[in-house]
Amino acid sequence: MTLTLTALPDIPLIRPGDDLGAILLAALAKAGLFLMDGDVLVLAQKIVSKAEGRMVNLTQVTPSPRAIELAVQVEKDARFVELVLQESLEVLRTRPGTLIVEHRRGFICANAGIDHSNVEGSWGNPDDWVLLLPVDADASAERIRRCVAKGSSLKLGVMIIDSHGRAWRNGVVGVCIGLAGLPALVDLRGEPDMLGFRLRITQVATADELAAGASLLMGQTAEGTPAIHVRGFPYPLRESYLGELIRSKETDLFR
Residues from 108 through 127 that contact its own copies (CB under 8 A) = 108, 115-118, 120, 126
**Nearest-angstrom CA–CA distance, 187 and 189:** 5
| 202 near its own copies, rule: CB under 8 A | yes
Among residues 96, 199, 238, 239, which is the contact residue for its own copies, using CB under 8 A?
199
Residue among 17 and 169 whose Cβ is closer to its own copies: 169
| 188 near its own copies, rule: CB under 8 A | yes
Amino acid making up residue 204: V
Residues whose CB is less than 8 angstroms from the CB of residue 101 and which lie 6 or more positions away in sequence, other chains included: 84, 85, 87, 88, 89, 90, 91, 92, 108, 109, 110, 111, 112
Residues whose CB is less than 8 angstroms from the CB of residue 140 and which lie 6 or more positions away in sequence, other chains included: 48, 52, 134, 160, 178
Q: With CB under 8 A as the contact rule, which of the stretches 67-75, 83-91, 138-146, 207-215 interacts with its own copies?
A: 207-215
| Count of residues in the chain | 255
Give least dist CB 141 to its own copies, A.
18
| 29 near its own copies, rule: CB under 8 A | no
Q: Which residues in 151-180 contact its own copies (CB under 8 A)?
A: 163, 166-175
3 within 8 A of 232, measured Cβ to Cβ: yes
Which region holds residue 53: left if phi is over 0, alpha if psi is between -120 and 50, else beta?
Answer: left
Give least dist CB 237 to its own copies, A.
14
Residue among 83 and 143 whose Cβ is closer to its own copies: 83
Q: Which residues in 32-91 contact its own copies (CB under 8 A)?
A: none
